[in-house]
Amino acid sequence: LYTPVPMTLAFTVGAKYDQRAQEKYPAMNLAGIFRSNRFVFLVESYSKKELAFDSLQTAYVAQVGFLAIPKRLLIAADFGAYVILQQMKNPPKTLETDIKKQLDEQQWRLAAHLFFYRNIGILSLLYKDRSVKNAKEGLPANREQRVSLEAQYRF
């Protein structure tokens, strides 16, 4: 969002079946976007049902942004999570690939994006707070907090 825009509302729906080294699953993706004047709101979710292990996982994100000063400053925030809704009932003897990394996780971020050269030169101040469930039962979640200042110039 670089300049105010007319009202826009859009939705997408998708589905697929995928097969990997240890996984077979159908998956579904839902997304929506609303933009109006200086405001933008996006939501998206992706869910999959593991057939081999009889488990269910979902990931989602919600983003909001406000163009405080057109062509100059965008303020934004988002929240997302990956949640195992149904634990594996039939886990494999050896967890391979990304399956061994599947842990509940959530993250929220705040950002201020300053457009210093049109919409291709951007200076961003970001704050991130991420929490990942500990793989060892009874231990607290692993938490990461970070503040960063990033610049980008696209050409």
> pTM of this prediction?
0.85
Per-residue confidence band for 9, with pLDDT thresholds at 50, 70 and 90: very high
Residue 56's H or E segment, with its range, is strand 55-69
Position with higher pLDDT, 87 vs 74: 74
Distance of alpha carbon 38 from alpha carbon 119, whole angstroms: 15
Contact between 121 and 107 under an 8 Å Cβ cutoff? The reply is no
> How does pLDDT run across 123-144, given as a tens digit for each residue?
999 999 999 998 788 888 899 9
Please report, to the nearest 10 degrees, the dihedral formed by the alpha carbons of residues 116, 117, 119, 122 taken in order.
Answer: -40
pLDDT digit string, tens, across residues 21-64: 778 899 999 999 999 999 999 999 999 998 888 889 999 999 99
- Residue 100 sits at φ, ψ, to 5 deg, of -70, -15
The answer to whether residues 1 and 113 touch, using CB atoms and an 8 Å cutoff, is: no
pLDDT at 86 over 80: no
Q: How confident is the model at residue 81 (pLDDT cuts 50, 70, 90)?
A: very high
> Which tokens in the block code for residue 57?
């996982």
Q: Which pLDDT score is estimated for 95?
A: 67
